[in-house]
């Protein structure tokens, strides 16, 4: 297992769903797989990030900067997700408050809140089409999730009825 995890980390894979782990052990039945997962967590090989989501414990510290986004991505497989709302507006300096240990993510999947050892992930559903989302977001190499452009993040904030009193309008004018 350790060799397989090392190989996956070299491929920049360090967050695994339960199904991913099961693929590593195709011969184990469901009950044996559950015991193996419990043992790997107990032994500190994997850490449980959320229901059905595991992190290669030895890779966690080396990838701390993007870990919570990787977990968010794993929690919504097959859905489109991007960092928006307060998280990205804080990064841009458009709002002065810094969401501590919280990541706000727009998703084509279900809304929901997930408490993880790496922080709280707040998913907010968007009905926007994928082409619209792609036009309103930016891809940054090495970052697991796309990020909203400044104006798009503010529009998301307004659309979902969040507080806009803390917006620095001068910072907002400078689009990245």
Rounded CA gap, 104 and 97, in Å? 13
Same domain, 89 and 155: yes
Q: What is the span of the domain harbouring residue 118?
A: 76-173
Q: Is 125 a member of any domain?
A: yes
Same domain, 163 and 90: yes
CATH number at residue 31: 1.10.10
Q: Is 71 a member of any domain?
A: no
pTM: 0.89
Same domain, 169 and 115: yes
Report pLDDT digits (tens) over 90-102: 999 888 777 778 9
Which whole-number Å values give the CA distances from 89 to 9, 42, 156, in the listed order?
30, 38, 11
Same domain, 82 and 159: yes
Report pLDDT digits (tens) over 155-176: 999 999 887 777 777 777 765 4
Same domain, 47 and 106: no
Rounded CA gap, 87 and 114, in Å? 15
How many domains, the chain?
A: 2
């Amino acid at each position: 297992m350790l060799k397989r995890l090392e190989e996956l980390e070299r491929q920049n894979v360090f967050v695994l769903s339960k199904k991913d782990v099961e693929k590593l052990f195709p011969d184990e039945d469901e009950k044996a797989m559950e015991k193996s997962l419990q043992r790997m967590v107990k032994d500190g090989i994997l850490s449980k990030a959320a229901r059905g989501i595991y992190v290669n414990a030895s890779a966690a510290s080396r990838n701390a900067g993007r870990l919570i986004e990787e977990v968010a991505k794993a929690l919504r497989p097959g859905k489109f997700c991007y960092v928006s709302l307060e998280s990205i507006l804080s990064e841009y300096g458009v709002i002065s408050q810094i969401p501590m240990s919280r990541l706000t993510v727009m998703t084509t999947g279900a809304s929901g809140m997930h408490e993880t050892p790496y922080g709280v992930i707040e998913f907010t559903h968007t009905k926007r089409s994928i082409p619209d989302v792609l036009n309103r977001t930016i891809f940054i190499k090495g970052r697991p999730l796309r990020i909203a452009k400044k104006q798009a993040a503010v529009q998301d904030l307004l659309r979902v009825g969040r507080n806009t009193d803390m917006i620095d309008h001068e910072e907002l004018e400078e689009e990245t």
